[in-house]
């Protein structure tokens, strides 16, 4: 955290990013990223599925993160890597699980999957049936007691206060599923809506702990100019976390652009003429063969008629 505070004092924002593959992690580290996060959603995202798949029962989220550790951690040289932890998982022993993550090489945790992304009746059901946001607060508090870095997602001022009170190092104001690309969300808040909401979250968190860091994530904040707009127009926003915006969207663009450049190559005129001539010869031979076969069938038919 000392390094991050010195960085902020120099006017440099903290930039964190999801790494759903080892290649993503390597590229992000070469680019100078400050933190890497391994989420279960990264596996779905980089398999061409929407990030929201990480919220549903397509696999054990905590187990997937442990599997992904063996792909990502060995190729990361110096950047701290955090684990996305499903704090509401009823089949973990929290302290033992966090010790296991530490032993794998993770430097800290973030609360994902999170019930914070649900609202309405389903959120009420989670809260009333033992899968509440408070469990995510509890595991963040435990992680801090174990000296792990904690960067929890929060979705409103009340959650920001709870996570700050739990001792979170860095609060991430989550604005919803990231827009853009082939599998991103199609609807979201506006950037100006986000400015107001993030400011409320930052103020609430610092009302509990004036030293807590606050960064933004998600929704329409999908490109560098979007993040710059938020950081410029909010007081005390210290950086940006990306997931789709740092691995999926860049990969979609780069691969598509590379293929378009390959497809823009034109064959030399002489080569085109040679291929066209060969095609005409092939058609001529094919036509001759067809006519010859037709004559043979006619002769055979006449012979059968004579008999």
Task: Measure CA 227 to chain center.
Answer: 16
With a CB cutoff of 8 Å and minimum separation 6, the contacts of 144 are 150, 166, 167, 168, 169
pLDDT greater at residue 262 or residue 50: 262
With a CB cutoff of 8 Å and minimum separation 6, the contacts of 126 are 88, 115, 118, 132
- Position 188 scores a pLDDT of 74
pLDDT digits (tens, 9 = 90+) for 159-198: 999 999 999 999 999 999 776 666 566 657 899 999 999 9
Residue 307 shares a structural domain with residue 232: no
Q: Please report which confidence band the pLDDT of residue 287 belongs to, taking 50, 70 and 90 as the band edges.
A: low
- Give me the residue label for tokens 């955090």: 82
Residue 253 shares a structural domain with residue 279: no
Domain of 282, in residue numbers: 267-307
Residue 246 shares a structural domain with residue 148: yes
294 pLDDT higher than 90: no
Residue 216 shares a structural domain with residue 298: no
- Position 307 scores a pLDDT of 54
Residue 287 shares a structural domain with residue 221: no
Say how many CA atoms lie within 13 Å of 45 toward its Cβ: 32
Residue 26 shares a structural domain with residue 154: yes
Q: Decide: helix, strand or coil at residue 223.
A: coil
- Position 277 scores a pLDDT of 77
Q: Please report which confidence band the pLDDT of residue 306 belongs to, taking 50, 70 and 90 as the band edges.
A: low
Mean pLDDT estimate for the chain: 91
Residue 188 shares a structural domain with residue 305: no
Q: Which two tokens stand for residue 2?
A: 């000392």
Pairwise CA distance, residues 187 & 155, whole Å: 17
Give the CA dihedral 147, 79, 34, 118, nearest 10 degrees: -60
- Position 303 scores a pLDDT of 67
> CATH number, domain at 57?
3.20.20.70
Q: Which runs of E-coded beta strand occur in 180-246?
A: 213-217, 239-242
**Once rounded to an integer, what is the mean pLDDT over residues 267-288?**
74
Residue 213 shares a structural domain with residue 121: yes
**Once rounded to an integer, what is the mean pLDDT over residues 45-55?**
89
Pairwise CA distance, residues 69 & 260, whole Å: 34
pLDDT digits (tens, 9 = 90+) for 25-38: 999 999 999 999 99
The DSSP H or E segment spanning 278 is helix 269-306
Give the CA dihedral 174, 177, 179, 180, nearest 10 degrees: 120
Q: Please report which confidence band the pLDDT of residue 276 belongs to, taking 50, 70 and 90 as the band edges.
A: confident
Residue 214 shares a structural domain with residue 299: no
Instruction: Note the pTM of the prediction, 2 decimals.
Output: 0.84
- Position 177 scores a pLDDT of 79
244 pLDDT higher than 90: no
pLDDT digits (tens, 9 = 90+) for 114-141: 999 999 999 999 999 999 999 999 999 9
**Once rounded to an integer, what is the mean pLDDT over residues 257-265?**
96
Asked if 20 contacts 246 with a C-beta cutoff of 8 angstroms, the reply is: no
The DSSP 8-state label assigned to residue 156 in this structure reads S
Residue 217 shares a structural domain with residue 285: no
**Once rounded to an integer, what is the mean pLDDT over residues 231-240?**
97
Q: Are strands 149-150 and 14-18 parallel, antiparallel or unpaired?
A: unpaired
Residue 237 shares a structural domain with residue 285: no
Best CA proximity match to 35, nearest among 82, 70, 76: 82
Pairwise CA distance, residues 4 & 34, whole Å: 9
With a CB cutoff of 8 Å and minimum separation 6, the contacts of 192 are none
CB neighbours of residue 200 within 10 Å: 15
Say how many CA atoms lie within 13 Å of 124 toward its Cβ: 2
- Position 96 scores a pLDDT of 99
- Give me the residue label for tokens 């080892």: 22
Domain total in the chain: 2
- Position 184 scores a pLDDT of 60
Residue 115 shares a structural domain with residue 130: yes
pLDDT digits (tens, 9 = 90+) for 58-89: 999 999 999 999 999 999 999 999 999 999 99
């Amino acid at each position: 955290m000392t390094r991050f505070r010195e960085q902020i004092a120099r006017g440099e924002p903290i930039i964190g990013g999801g790494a759903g593959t080892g290649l993503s992690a390597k590229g992000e580290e070469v680019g100078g990223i400050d933190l890497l996060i391994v989420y279960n959603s990264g596996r779905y995202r980089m398999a061409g599925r929407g990030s929201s798949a990480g919220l549903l029962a397509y696999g054990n989220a905590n187990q997937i993160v442990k599997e992904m550790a063996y792909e990502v951690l060995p190729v990361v040289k110096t950047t701290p890597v955090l684990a996305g932890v499903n704090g509401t998982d009823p089949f973990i022993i929290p302290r033992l699980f966090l010790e296991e993550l530490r032993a794998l090489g993770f430097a800290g945790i973030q609360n994902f999957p999170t019930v914070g992304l649900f609202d309405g009746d389903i959120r009420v059901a989670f809260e009333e049936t033992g899968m509440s946001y408070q469990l995510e607060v509890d595991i963040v508090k435990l992680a801090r007691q174990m000296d792990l870095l904690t960067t929890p997602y929060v979705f409103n001022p009340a959650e920001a206060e709870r996570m700050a009170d739990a001792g979170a190092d860095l609060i991430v104001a989550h604005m919803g599923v990231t827009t853009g690309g082939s599998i991103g969300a199609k609807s979201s808040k506006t950037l100006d809506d986000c400015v107001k909401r993030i400011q409320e979250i930052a103020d609430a968190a610092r009302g509990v702990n004036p030293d807590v860091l606050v960064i933004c994530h998600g929704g329409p904040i999908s490109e560098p100019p979007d993040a710059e707009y938020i950081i410029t127009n909010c007081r005390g926003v210290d950086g940006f976390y990306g997931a789709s915006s740092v691995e999926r969207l860049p990969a979609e663009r780069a691969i598509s652009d590379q293929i378009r450049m390959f497809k823009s190559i034109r064959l030399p005129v002489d080569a085109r003429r040679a291929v066209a001539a060969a095609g005409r010869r092939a058609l001529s031979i094919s036509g001759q063969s067809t006519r010859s076969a037709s004559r043979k069938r006619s002769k055979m038919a006449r012979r059968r008629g004579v008999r």
